Amino acid sequence: MDNKRRGPIGIELVRRGLVNQDDINKAIDYQRENPNKKIIEIINILNLCDEYALINALGDILDEKSIILTPNDITLNVSEYISIDVAKQNKAIPFDITGNKIKVCFADTLDRKSVDTIRLILLNKGLIMERYITFEKNINDILESLEGTAAENINSNADTTGLVDSIIKTAIKKRASDIHIEPLENEIRVRYRIDGELINAVKIPKEKQTQIIGRLKAISNMFQEKQDSQDGRIIMYPDFNIRVSSQKNIHGEKFVLRLLKKNLNIRGLADLGFPDDQSLIKSSFNKRNSITIIAAPTGEGKTTTLYSIIDYLNRPEINITTIEDPVEIRIPGLNQIEINEKLRFSDSLRTVLRQDPDIILLGEIRDTETAEIALQAGQTGHYVLSTIHTIDSIEVITRLRKMGISNYDISSTVGTTVSQRLVRKLCKKCARKREFTEEEKNIITQIGKKYNVEFNLDGKFTYDAVGCAECNGSGYYERTGVFEVLNIEDNVKELIVNGASSIEIKEEALKGNYKPLLIDGINKVIDGVTTLSEIDKKIIIY
């Protein structure tokens, strides 16, 4: 791009006679209170310049095509080309298409990451992007109108009790895992997390804030007068156990409600997305004198996988005890212990070891003390299952080392490490089938070469995430797991004992049956379960 800009936007606008220095000073004063706003946006918000003259000048300064984007300018279904959440993240809207050329409006064409993200998504669909610039407010207003039907059952005109009830019941109907009730400067924003993504549900007038907070505290068994952080629980919805967390911010108290379905059926490992390979499952999760650790960042389904493994192992002749925070699913025949502020993982684990368990499920390895006891349990005839926060199965070894666990104890006790990510599945009602582009084929082929895996694309198709009422316009419905499994064999054990780095361990593991997360992700793209762009969000491939 031949960028004509010779100095700050404000100075250039003054030079062109569109605003004066007093206008710029007003904009700067406004920016001090709104640091996330750009000067050009502020000038428009404060109506210091004709908006058409302003956007045309910005386009000229940046050598970009410019437009005041309105809903009437949009001649296509945005979600057929990029999902609404991707559009929001990158502040971009496709608005017109002719042949293989598609016009896309951005709030900031200098944001190279956003521009390249949208360009690649469209290029993968065989489209050449022609970019435009507009005001961020135009982008936000249009995206808000396109965002779906999340609020269709929320009765904003009801009394406080009815309003809170409709927010929760609508979240349940929409399959939300969390509700965020957030006081802002001039309103209250309600958002739902559905399939891992936050979407706006409704905006509530600011004057209702005190009553809503009071109602939430009342049904959560929280102290009304206390404004410090609190935890509570809502039990008035028969099929759900709702955990509530409050946190004071500069505009009031924010609430997050975690919706946990009671008596949830435990899904089989294959249903979670784990490779449907019985020999792999048996070699990974049917052990003695060892510990299996599930690794992933927060919110990636580690606990769900633990439950599925326990369900696979559960038999009447086996004594299984779980130590959890909290117990999310009650399983008949298991001894389940819920820890609290007074009862720690390490304390419970010591007691459990005197209860003659065969298998111990430990919700999380959080500290050195818990890690040491867990490994000791694995060394004395028990099979221990637990989780840890780290990026992949190889880094579990590094994490345990940093906790002070010796290389000998790691190599002798850790039998299997599993890493996982949750990716959204294509909505079956609106996904659009197409052939892989040459660029997509090249990406997949290069990944295969890197890890010595041959992907068969003959007769295979991929799908575009389109968006419909069923999936709230996102193009995706529910999630599945992407997995990697490291079964620690003798060659890897020897490297661990000798203090080898994670890079050296990974190189050795790749010579065996270990395949990184990306391989399972690509297989799920080839099988039509998800998309390359969705895999790229969790496991960087571009």
Number of CB atoms found within 10 A of residue 21's CB: 10
Nearest to 466 by CA among 86, 27, 50, 69: 86
Compute CA distances 65 → 316, 421, 459, whole Å.
70, 39, 41
Note whether 160-261 and 269-538 share their fold.
Answer: no
User: Which architecture, in CATH terms, is 160-261?
Assistant: 2-Layer Sandwich (3.30)
Cα 438 to Cα 125: distance, rounded to the nearest angstrom: 10
pLDDT higher than 60, residue 520: yes
pLDDT in tens, 185-234: 999 999 999 999 888 889 899 999 999 999 999 999 999 988 889 999 99
Q: What are phi and psi of 231, to 5 degrees?
A: -120, 140
pLDDT in tens, 269-293: 999 999 989 999 998 997 788 999 9
- pLDDT value, residue 3: 46
Instruction: Determine what percent of the chain is predicted with pLDDT higher than 90.
Output: 54
> Which CATH number describes the domain made up of 9-145?
3.30.300.160
CATH 3.40.50.300 given to domain 269-538: yes
Cα 267 to Cα 259: distance, rounded to the nearest angstrom: 18
pLDDT higher than 90, residue 338: no
pLDDT higher than 50, residue 375: yes
pLDDT in tens, 66-96: 999 888 888 887 877 887 778 888 999 999 9
The residue among 175 and 5 whose pLDDT is bigger is: 175
- pLDDT value, residue 154: 78
Mean pLDDT value across residues 104-130: 90
Please name the amino acid found at residue 246.
S
For the chain, what are the domain ranges?
Answer: 9-145, 160-261, 269-538
Lowest mean pLDDT among 83-92, 374-383, 398-407: 83-92
Q: What are phi and psi of 524, to 5 degrees?
A: -75, -30
Cα 51 to Cα 43: distance, rounded to the nearest angstrom: 9
Q: What is the mean pLDDT of the chain?
A: 89
Mean pLDDT value across residues 341-361: 85
Task: Count the helix, strand and coil residues of the chain and give each as a percent rounded to the nearest 5.
Answer: 40, 25, 40
- pLDDT value, residue 5: 44
Please give the full DSSP string across 177-216, using - where no structure is assigned.
SEEEEEE-SSEEEEEEEETTEEEEEEEEEGGGHHHHHHHH
The residue among 104 and 26 whose pLDDT is bigger is: 104
